[in-house]
Structures are given as structure tokens and as C-alpha cells.
Amino acid sequence: MLSYAPCGMKLKLQKMGDNQTIQQAIQHKYQELSKSQQKVASFILKNLQTVGVHSAAYVGEKSDVSETTVIRFCYAIGLSGYAELQR
């Protein structure tokens, strides 16, 4: 699934079935995300290293959204949750 490598993070998306970088997955789904989820997406794209070492609550705080929104963002881009994003 997702292996931690800041610039070339690869993941196997459940819904899409392709191996691609997290950046590509976010860009592909960005317009379909809610405004709050877009805040999360923008934060993650600018701070990829943060995801691997901080909690969903931290990412939510820095994105000005709730922890729940961060987790829903993960589902929206095809992940099983925040833990998969961190791997």
C-alpha cells in the first residue's frame, strides 16, 4: 500500500486500483472533494512529511478542519483511513 517516501509516495488506491503517488491521487480527486476536504488536500500537498509523523487531529488543526474531516478525506481519495495514508 502506501510506503513513506516524501516526494515519491506510492499507494494502491482501493477505488481506483492503480499504483500512483499521493499527489496524483489528490489531484485526480480534488474537484470532487468538499471545501473542507480541499483544505486538507492543500495542506497535505504542501506538507507531505507531516502526514507520516503527525496525527489526523494535528493535520486537521493545521488545515482548520476537524479530525473527522481528515479521515473522510482519506476515504474520499480511496484509502481505508488515515493510518493507510501514514504508511
Q: Which band of pLDDT confidence, cut at 50, 70 and 90, is reported for residue 18? A: very low
Q: Residue 38: its pLDDT value, please?
A: 98
**Interatomic CA distance for residues 62 and 60, integer angstroms:** 5
21-75 pLDDT, tens digit per residue, is: 889 999 999 999 999 999 999 999 999 988 999 999 999 999 999 999 999 999 9
The CA-CA-CA angle for residues 5, 30, 27, to 5°, reads 40
Neighbours of 60 (CB within 10 A): 22
Q: Tell me how far CA of residue 31 lies from CA of 28, 36, 50, 76, in angstroms.
A: 8, 12, 23, 11
User: Domain locations in the chain?
Assistant: 10-86
Would you identify the CATH topology of the domain 10-86? Arc Repressor Mutant, subunit A (1.10.10)
